[in-house]
Each structure stands twice: as structure tokens, then as C-alpha cells.
Amino acid sequence: MLIAAALCPAPPLLACELTGAEPVLPELRQACREAVDELVHADPEMVAVVGAAPETRTWDPRARLDLTAYAPALAGLGRSVPGTDRDAGNAGVPGPPEHTATESLRGLPLPVGLGSRLLDDAGYGGERRLQSVGADTPPVECAALGSRLAAAAPRTALLVMADGSARRSRRAPGYLDPRAGPFDAQVARAIRDGDMTALLALDAGLAAELLATGRPAWQVLAGAMTGHRPSCQVRYDDDPFGVAYLVASLAVG
């Protein structure tokens, strides 16, 4: 039974180790922290982290994101790099033990890994399920996965790691597509209004063309919310680097 959900984007720049000495988008990071804090404070028995990836599968909950794919210099430095803004905080946050660099714990997809980090940062030590959903999964299958996740524990919370279009401007990673703005506005409106039917109706083909990688994860959320019309607080809605980022807290009322 789903009790709450949090929605966060999944850009690598959420990881402070990757962005250098000066803080990058502190307001986005703060919004994510607050959304996940609220989720954890809803006292769930299990938190499922959901994000898009090449395939649908669960991951070892002890696995953590390997940032060396994005910054090879991090190899061997652990979680903190001298001089980066990560340095100040998060002392004592349980990171992966030394011996976890085994085959079974490698390859955690970026959105799932970033979500798991957010749970770590919020001090969440309860049961967690790391669930990726294949990028090409049809909406109906996404919704069915959401229903199963919601039913997996009496008090389930969902941390949905999903990005809007990466084609929001000429400087965006995918260059400008004029359809991106209306598409993302439609998603934001559906979240804001708790209109899960509208999320399920999103066109997978269009989302793929717009590099809106969060589409399957949104539809997992919609499936998990089936029968509910959640109340929603949007904490961040912007596209500072041409990718649409949406942070929200959803409560099942």
C-alpha cells in the first residue's frame, strides 16, 4: 500500500563530487533533500527507488552509484574529494563498504543510484528496493510494475527519479525541440494536480524523441497511485541547463 512518493530528477550534477569547488544548483539539491526528508518522515516500512535504465530489474540494495564513470579522478578517493563542496557535509553517512566493488554490485543505473544516495543522505536505514524500469517499457507494463511495488509492503514509499526533456533550449544537451516545453508543462500539470491518468497517457514515442528519460518512471508512479488522487507540493520546476527538472512531494490522502 503506497503512503507517499517523492519525485526528483537524476542528473549526475546532483552528486557534489562531480561539480567542482563551487556549489552547483544548491536550490535544486536542497529541494531534493527536502522531498526525500519528507518521504522518510512518513515512516515507510519500505522505500522503493525507481528510475529508468536499459532493462527492468531489481538491484542489490547494498549497491551504490559508481561515480568514476563520470569522473575517473574519483577512483580510490572514496566518496569525498578534497576541495569539493561535498567536503563539508555528510561525514558519517554510511557509504558502501570496501568489499562491495564486486560484480553483483556494479553497474547500478544512474537514476537508481542517485536515489539511493538521497536516501543515505536523509539517514534512511530501513528496507529499500532498488528498481530500474526499462527505457522502452510500454505504459501499461510500467503501471503494472507500479502496482506491484505499492503492494510489496503495508507501508510503501516511492522515490521516483525522473527527468523531463533534455531538449528545452538551444544550449540543451539535445538542442531545442519546440515540443519539449509543452510536453514538460503537461507533466508538471499532471503532477501538480495529482492527475495520474494524464501521466499514464504520455506518449512513449514522443517522450523518447524529446529525450524525456523519466517517462517510464513517471508511469510506474502513476501505476502505484492507482485509485488515488494524491495531493502534491512542487518544490522545484526549472530547466537551468536545458533539461527539465521537477521536484515534488506526493501524499496519498
Judged by CB under 8 A, which of 236, 242, 248, 252 binds other proteins? 242
Pick between residue 61 and residue 173 the one whose CB is nearest to other proteins. 173
- From 99-107, 193-201, 216-224, 234-242, give the range in contact with other proteins by CB under 8 A: 234-242
Q: Are strands 231-238 and 46-53 parallel, antiparallel or unpaired?
A: unpaired
Partners of 249 in the β-ladder: 6, 233
**Residue 166 interacting with other proteins (CB under 8 A):** yes
**Residue 241 interacting with other proteins (CB under 8 A):** yes
Ranges of H-type helices in 25-69: 26-41
Considering the complex, what minimum distance in angstroms separates the CB of residue 57 from other proteins? 25
**Residue 113 interacting with other proteins (CB under 8 A):** no
Considering the complex, what minimum distance in angstroms separates the CB of residue 11 from other proteins? 5
Considering the complex, what minimum distance in angstroms separates the CB of residue 24 from other proteins? 6
**Residue 219 interacting with other proteins (CB under 8 A):** no
Q: How far apart are CA 140 and CA 204, in angstroms?
A: 11
Distances, alpha carbon 11 to alpha carbons 7, 51, 173, 185, in Å: 13, 12, 12, 19
Give the H/E segment covering residue 218: helix 215-224
Pick between residue 81 and residue 196 the one whose CB is nearest to other proteins. 81
- From 119-127, 210-218, 224-232, 239-247, give the range in contact with other proteins by CB under 8 A: 239-247
Residues 6+ apart with CB under 8 A from 204: 136, 138, 139, 215, 216
**Residue 4 interacting with other proteins (CB under 8 A):** no
Among 118, 121, 10, CA closest to 70? 10
**Residue 243 interacting with other proteins (CB under 8 A):** yes
**Residue 20 interacting with other proteins (CB under 8 A):** yes
Considering the complex, what minimum distance in angstroms separates the CB of residue 229 from other proteins? 32
Distances, alpha carbon 13 to alpha carbons 17, 101, 230, 237, in Å: 8, 23, 29, 16
Considering the complex, what minimum distance in angstroms separates the CB of residue 25 from other proteins? 8
Cell numbers given for 38: 519528507
Considering the complex, what minimum distance in angstroms separates the CB of residue 74 from other proteins? 9
State which of positions 55-84 bind other proteins (CB under 8 A): 70, 73, 81-84
Q: How far apart are CA 56 and CA 223, in angstroms?
A: 15
Let me know the angle formed at the C-alpha of 238 by 119 and 89, rounded to the nearest 5 degrees. 35
**Residue 249 interacting with other proteins (CB under 8 A):** no
Among 59, 61, 79, 63, CA closest to 71? 79
**Residue 12 interacting with other proteins (CB under 8 A):** yes
**Residue 174 interacting with other proteins (CB under 8 A):** no
Which residues are near other proteins by CB under 8 A? 11-13, 18-22, 24, 70, 73, 81-84, 166, 173, 240-243
